[in-house]
């Protein structure tokens, strides 16, 4: 593992979390203060409705990170379970592979657009659509490692001693698979934040009552020439968040 890269990514992510936490808040509409420049009262200025950009940016970033964390937990757990079904080598295995290939071919954006047309756009749609799209990558990563570990001598010995499948999985297989799965989970975390921002930019993500980096960029794009900061600031924030996570992901991936 490149420890310096991992530590730098972790430090950057920690600093961002601290900044967001201390500045997050719901900013009310104040039309007389619309499109103010940087000031002591509004360090990053205000948007077209007079709302403080820093407080909305921080709250939107924290919401995106919280959603990505939930999505990562769900998709990692489901992908890990699915990989064991894929390794059964029976009808259940065929069904698991078909499910994985089908979901992988759709992608999170298409899934979200479909679910949004059936249900109202919201947090549940984001979590379900992105989680489903991330499950195949986790499952394939776990499966590739599972195939190797299952043929190890300690697993063969456990089977010869009459140990059940569940006990073998919990005691021997999962601990040896979690290294690569944990590394992949960091990649899922990063891509989930990007996907949520893209969905919010398209209007099918976080509800409009809540700020989002994607929706802030969408709101500011009409004033890109006169007030580029309305787009550049949330875009730069999104870049720094994903950069910190990708640095940790790349460092952990080289180790695993």
Give CA–CA dist 103/59, Å, rounded. Answer: 31
Q: Is residue 35 part of a domain?
A: no
Condensed to tens digits (0 to 9), the pLDDT of residues 21-56 reads 999 987 778 888 888 888 888 899 899 889 999 999
165 pLDDT higher than 80: no
Range of the domain at 65: 3-21+53-255
Residue 28 lies in a domain: no
- 125-160: per-residue pLDDT in tens? 889 888 988 888 898 888 888 878 877 777 777 777
> Is residue 39 included in any domain, yes or no?
no
Predicted structure pTM score: 0.89
Q: Is residue 154 part of a domain?
A: yes
Number of domains in the chain: 1
Q: Is residue 47 part of a domain?
A: no
Instruction: Calculate mean pLDDT across residues 211-240.
Output: 92
**127 domain-assigned:** yes
Structure confidence at residue 254 as a pLDDT band (50, 70, 90) = low
CATH number, domain containing residue 202: 1.10.3720.10
Tokens 């205000």: give the residue.
46
């Amino acid at each position: 593992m490149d420890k310096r890269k991992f530590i730098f990514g972790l430090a950057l992510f920690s600093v961002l979390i601290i900044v967001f936490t201390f500045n997050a808040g719901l900013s009310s509409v104040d039309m007389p203060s619309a499109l103010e420049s940087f000031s002591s009262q509004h360090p990053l200025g205000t948007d077209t409705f007079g709302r403080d950009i820093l407080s909305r940016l921080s709250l939107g970033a924290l919401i995106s990170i919280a959603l990505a964390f939930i999505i990562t937990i769900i998709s990692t757990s489901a992908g890990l379970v699915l990989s064991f079904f894929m390794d059964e080598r029976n009808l259940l295995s065929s069904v698991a592979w078909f499910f994985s290939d089908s979901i992988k071919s759709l992608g999170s954006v298409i899934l979200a657009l479909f679910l949004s047309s059936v249900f109202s756009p919201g947090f549940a749609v984001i979590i379900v659509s992105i989680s489903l799209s991330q499950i195949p990558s986790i499952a394939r990563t776990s499966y590739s490692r599972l195939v190797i570990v299952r043929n190890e001598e300690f697993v063969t010995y456990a089977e010869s001693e009459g140990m059940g499948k569940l006990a073998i999985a919990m005691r021997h297989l999962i601990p040896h698979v979690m290294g690569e799965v944990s590394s992949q989970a960091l990649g899922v975390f990063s891509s989930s934040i990007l996907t949520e921002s893209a969905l919010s930019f398209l209007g099918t993500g976080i509800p409009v009552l809540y700020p989002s980096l994607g929706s802030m960029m969408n709101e500011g794009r009409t004033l890109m020439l006169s007030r580029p900061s309305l787009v550049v600031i949330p875009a730069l924030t999104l870049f720094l968040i994903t950069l910190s996570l990708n640095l940790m992901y790349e460092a952990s991936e080289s180790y695993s």
